[in-house]
């Protein structure tokens, strides 16, 4: 059974944190012993804001003793880790991240890892996020901001993952904006799987209040759960 799902985006600010929180909450309600993880959080001085949002959206228990494993690196400067880490006098070690993930995977049924931006974001100048995903044997769930231009971003993300033999678990489309041409938005969800062969697990509608999205996410959560169980 899959122990770790890496939740990446086609870009930054596409809704990864929201999707990760909703999915964790859905899996928890189905009896799965689940935890979320954020390898590197930037733009925060002490505690990961994204992990806090996961817990809030998913109604997850807080276990302070696990915080160093849940978020191994928290960096103040809001930028790619390869910039933010040296500014904080920190060297991001792949062994620290790998060890943290493996400890959580041993304790929990499922670890949901939220990435930093897209899969090609460098953790260091010599380490891309996607390479560590591959090294740990994770599968990738890609969050796509459904908008004009997302076809290119999504296909490139899929290609980067497949070139490193990272299985793509599926795609979740997400509407960040209230407006948009329906002809384009609907076609996005048809042409991407046609060209890539990757399944679309569903689309999240635009939400004025992200705290009210659990019901809309449930059909997507069910598909993820069934695939995770191998049904």
Give the pLDDT confidence of 27-43 residue by residue, as tens digits.
Answer: 999 999 999 999 999 99
Please, which pLDDT band fits residue 47 given cuts at 50, 70 and 90?
confident
- Asked if the model's pLDDT at residue 45 lies above 90, the reply is no
Residue 210 has pLDDT above 90, yes or no: no
199 and 170 Cβ atoms separated by less than 8 Å? yes
Q: Is the Cβ–Cβ distance between 142 and 172 less than 8 Å?
A: yes
pTM of the model as a whole: 0.97
**pLDDT category of residue 161 using cuts at 50, 70 and 90:** very high
Provide the pLDDT for residue 168.
98
- Under CATH, which architecture does the 4-229 domain have? 3-Layer(aba) Sandwich (3.40)
DSSP state of 231: -
3-state helix, strand, coil in the chain (%, to 5): 45, 20, 35
Q: Residue 57: which residues within 8 A CB-CB, separation 6 or more?
A: 18, 21, 22, 24, 25, 210, 211, 213, 214
Concerning whether 38 is annotated as a catalytic residue, the answer is yes
For residue 127, the cross-strand partners are 124
Query: What mean pLDDT value characterizes the chain?
Result: 96
Which entry of 16, 38, 56, 223 is annotated as an active-site residue? 38
Per-residue model confidence (pLDDT) at position 46: 83
Mean pLDDT, range 45-73, rounded to an integer? 93
Q: How do the domains of the chain map onto residue ranges?
A: 4-229
| Of 50, 2, 9, 4, the residue nearest 161 (C-alpha) | 9
User: Phi, psi at residue 101, to the nearest 5°?
Assistant: -60, -45
Contact predicate 54/36, CB 8 Å = yes
Contact 69, 104 (CB under 8 A): yes
Q: Are 90 and 75 in contact (CB under 8 A)?
A: yes
Each residue of 118-149: pLDDT tens digit? 999 999 999 999 999 999 999 999 999 999 99
What are the residues facing 171 on neighbouring strands? 142, 200
| Rounded to 5°, angle at Cα 169 from 114 and 61 | 40
């Amino acid at each position: 059974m899959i122990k770790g799902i890496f939740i990446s985006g086609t870009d930054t600010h596409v809704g990864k944190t929201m999707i990760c929180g909703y999915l964790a909450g859905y899996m928890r309600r189905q009896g799965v012993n689940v935890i979320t993880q954020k390898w590197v959080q930037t733009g925060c001085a002490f505690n990961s804001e994204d992990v806090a949002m996961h817990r809030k959206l998913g109604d997850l228990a807080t276990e302070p003793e696990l915080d160093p494993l849940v978020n191994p690196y928290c960096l103040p400067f809001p930028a790619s880790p390869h910039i933010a880490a040296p500014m904080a006098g920190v060297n991001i070690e792949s062994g620290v991240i790998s060890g943290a993930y493996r400890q959580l995977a041993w304790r929990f049924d499922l670890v949901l890892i939220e990435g930093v931006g897209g899969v090609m974001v460098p953790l260091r100048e010599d380490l891309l996020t996607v390479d560590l995903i591959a090294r740990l044997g994770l599968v990738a769930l890609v969050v796509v901001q459904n908008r004009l231009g997302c076809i290119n971003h999504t296909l490139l993300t899929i290609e980067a993952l497949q070139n490193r033999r990272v299985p793509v678990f599926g795609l979740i489309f997400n509407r960040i904006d209230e407006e948009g041409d329906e002809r384009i938005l609907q076609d996005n969800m048809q042409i991407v799987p046609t060209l890539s062969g990757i399944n679309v697990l569903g689309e999240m509608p635009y939400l004025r209040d992200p705290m009210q999205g659990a019901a809309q996410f449930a059909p997507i959560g069910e598909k993820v759960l069934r695939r995770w169980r191998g049904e």
